[in-house]
Amino acid sequence: MTLRDIADRAGVRVGAAAPIGTLRADETYRSVLVREFNAMTPENETKWLGLQPSPGEWHWDDADYMVDLADEHGMQVRGHTLVWPHAGIPDHVRDATDAHQLRSWMTHHIQTTLDHFRGRIPRWDVVNEPMHWGEGRLAEGSFLDLLGPGYIAEAFTIAHEADPGIELWLNETHADVLGGKLPELRRIVEEMLDADVPLHGIGLQTHCLYPDFSPNLPTGEHLNGIVQTFADYGLDVAITEMDMLTDPEQPDRLEAQGALYEELVDAALQVDGCREITFWGFTDGVTWINEIFSPDRAPLLLDADYEPKPAYDAIERALQRRAERFTTGPS
């Protein structure tokens, strides 16, 4: 039984991010991805920088390859991401100085992208990381400076008008471990809902980057509370980018990693409104962690030879519990 078999029985998505280079070049990588997962997030290929690096210069090939592959294997794609105020955007967007120009670029980018993928990508992270990385306030940058905080609602409204049939998500990082972020995220969400902005879901990235980037580890109890908080607004909630650093010096690190993965994924899946767990990759051989952090941090479910780690078994058990609960009905 694969992860996707169990996820299908549970009525949830289990996804992985993947980069186009490895996907095109490595048959084993590709076959494990489509065997184990029923959802996929292009790691960089549907970002603004990936799709339209300069005004009017569109690169569809890589993203189309991924969407076609997903379609062929019955996987759903999560579009990531239309507007990311401080990364994954071309220089001309980041350095914009004219509000009218930036608004017109944003409108055109969203409309053209959603037109292209109409009927093929059912949900998009419309705005990614609207908040400052480590603090409970909006991220600085051209969008906030020129368009004001309303750019978030504007992006959602443009997306909804461009394609009323898709789910529109707000995706944020580290709201689970950095104290000031959760209240601010709630404020943003409440303001959007009060103004009837078309918002369908909240993505919690859930990168577990302790201790390098994060002062503490998340706990299941805390994550469960956060997922429930957003579900209580009537929104869908997803874990969208999960991975977890380990310490190469710790002898039982893979077991400890498996235990925390299980605690967190269980905690999220206990909430009915959480119907997606996506990992930011699936093999320790192919992960952004290998580029950004020190070597051998082993953040994912399979080792570099695609052998299952304790983390894989942990996720299998967590999905299994959701499947059992699903067949017996919510408590």
The least distance separating ligand XIL from the CB of residue 298, rounded to whole angstroms, comes to 16
Considering only residues 24-43, where is the footprint of ligand XIL by CB under 6 A? 43
- Give the 3-state DSSP-derived string for 78-146, with helices as H, strands as E and coil as C: EEEEEECCCCCCCHHHHCCCCHHHHHHHHHHHHHHHHHHCCCCCCEEEEEECCECCCCCCECCCHHHHH
- How many residues bind ligand XIL, per CB under 6 A? 7
| 43 noted as active-site residue | no
Considering only residues 294-323, where is the footprint of ligand XIL by CB under 6 A? none
The least distance separating ligand XIL from the CB of residue 200, rounded to whole angstroms, comes to 18
* Candidates 36, 241, 263, 316; catalytic one: 241
Residue 128 found at the interface with ligand XIL (CB under 6 A): yes
Element (H, E) at 50: helix 48-51
Residue 205 found at the interface with ligand XIL (CB under 6 A): yes
Residue 44 found at the interface with ligand XIL (CB under 6 A): yes
Which residue number, 157 or 205, has a Cβ lying nearer to ligand XIL? 205
Residue 214 found at the interface with ligand XIL (CB under 6 A): no
Q: Indicate which single residue of 36, 172, 241, 276 sits in contact with ligand XIL (rule: CB under 6 A).
A: 241
CA distances (Å), 37 to each of 70, 202, 231, in order?
10, 21, 24
* Candidates 36, 45, 129, 276; catalytic one: 129
Rounded to 10 deg, the angle between the 220-231 and 181-194 helix axes is 10
DSSP, res 240: E
Which residue number, 264 or 323, has a Cβ lying nearer to ligand XIL? 264
The least distance separating ligand XIL from the CB of residue 41, rounded to whole angstroms, comes to 8
Q: What's CA 196's distance to the chain center, in Å?
A: 24
Look at phi and psi of residue 327 and say left if phi exceeds 0, alpha if psi is from -120 to 50, else beta. Answer: alpha
Buried b (16+ CB within 10 A) or exposed e, 280-289: bbbbbbbbbb
Which residue number, 184 or 241, has a Cβ lying nearer to ligand XIL? 241
| 263 noted as active-site residue | no
Which residue number, 104 or 133, has a Cβ lying nearer to ligand XIL? 133
Q: Provide the annotated active-site residues.
A: 129, 241
Binding site for ligand XIL (CB under 6 A): 43-44, 128, 173, 205, 241, 288
